[in-house]
Amino acid sequence: MKEWAKSFYKSKAWQDCREAYFISKHGLCERCGRPGLIVHHRIYLTPQNINDPNITLSFENLELLCSSCHNNEHNRKYDVVRDDVMFNSNGDLVRSGENGY
């Protein structure tokens, strides 16, 4: 947890909101249906928006996720699939569009 967010996540307002949201989703991950664990903010919290209850405490910005779906969400930016490269018939990595590929 980032230092600037600690007081928010320890606040009674967040604890109450998190619990109410968890109950409203019957404890199930909204992406896969497994048991949920983490109430995730769709718009990520930043030092600039941490004090905005429309971001931090709004049900519209929350999503209940299991740990696997939450990890997938936060690791999307490290996706190893790229559109600008591919393997040619020899198994060499080439840029898409090079040498007729």
CATH number for the domain that contains residue 88: 3.40.1800
User: Per-residue pLDDT for the chain (101 aa), expressed as one digit of tens each?
Assistant: 889 999 999 999 999 999 999 999 999 999 999 999 999 999 999 999 999 999 999 999 999 999 999 998 888 765 566 677 777 777 777 887 655 54
Residue pair 17/45 in contact by the 8 Å Cβ criterion: no
Instruction: Return the pLDDT at 101.
Output: 45
Instruction: Return the pLDDT at 73.
Output: 87
pTM: 0.73
Q: Which domain holds residue 49?
A: 3-100
The count of structural domains within the chain is 1
Instruction: Return the pLDDT at 80.
Output: 60
26 vs 84: CA distance, rounded Å? 42
